[in-house]
């Protein structure tokens, strides 16, 4: 049985400044491989302001807002699913997000275009799609 007390250390780690730096490092590395512009990165992070974006680019030890951590978590899951789906095709892991996809929910758009609508649910939809594709 899981108790509230046993969850507190994990929650504290997720809310730590070090976790923020790790999340931002992952985010900027991934979106660089996806060839995302600064504007696209800002949208994926929750349409953050330019000042905040430039602060984050310096990879500070910062407690990120829950929304930002949730977004990065979805992107981690998307990346993990792509690494599994394209385990023998490293470049495909990074190219997939830019390729048009006729499946729902994309309807001819790329996953990146879909995610750039800016809502957390859009990231969750892509993650769910990939989890379903993995089986």
Domain boundaries, the chain: 4-134
DSSP 8-state code for residue 119: -
Given pLDDT bands bounded at 50, 70 and 90, which one contains residue 16? confident
Is pLDDT at 114 greater than 60 in this prediction? yes
Other beta carbons within 10 Å of 115: 27
Cα torsion 9, 83, 115, 12 to 10°: value is 10
Residue 83 CA to residue 8 CA, distance in Å, equals 30
Contact yes or no for 123/78 (Cβ under 8 A):
yes
pLDDT at position 5 is: 44
Is pLDDT at 95 greater than 70 in this prediction? yes
Which pTM value belongs to this model? 0.87
pLDDT at position 14 is: 60
State the DSSP string of 77-88: HHHHHHHHHTTT
Is pLDDT at 61 greater than 80 in this prediction? yes
Rounded to 5 degrees, φ, ψ at 29 are -65, -45
Residues of the chain with pLDDT > 90: what percent?
81
Encoded tokens for 94:
């990074």
pLDDT at position 6 is: 41
């Amino acid at each position: 049985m899981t108790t509230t007390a046993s969850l507190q250390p994990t929650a504290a780690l997720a809310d730590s400044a070090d976790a923020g730096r790790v999340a931002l490092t992952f985010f900027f590395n991934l979106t660089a491989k996806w060839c995302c512009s600064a504007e696209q990165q800002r949208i994926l992070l929750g349409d953050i302001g330019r000042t905040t974006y430039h602060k984050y680019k310096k990879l500070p030890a910062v407690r990120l807002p829950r929304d930002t951590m949730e977004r990065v978590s979805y992107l981690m899951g998307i990346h993990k699913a792509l690494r599994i789906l394209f385990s023998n095709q490293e470049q495909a892991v990074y190219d997939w997000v830019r390729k048009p996809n006729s499946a729902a929910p994309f309807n001819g758009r790329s996953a990146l275009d879909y995610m750039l609508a800016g809502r957390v649910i859009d990231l969750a939809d892509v993650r769910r799609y990939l989890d379903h594709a993995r089986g």
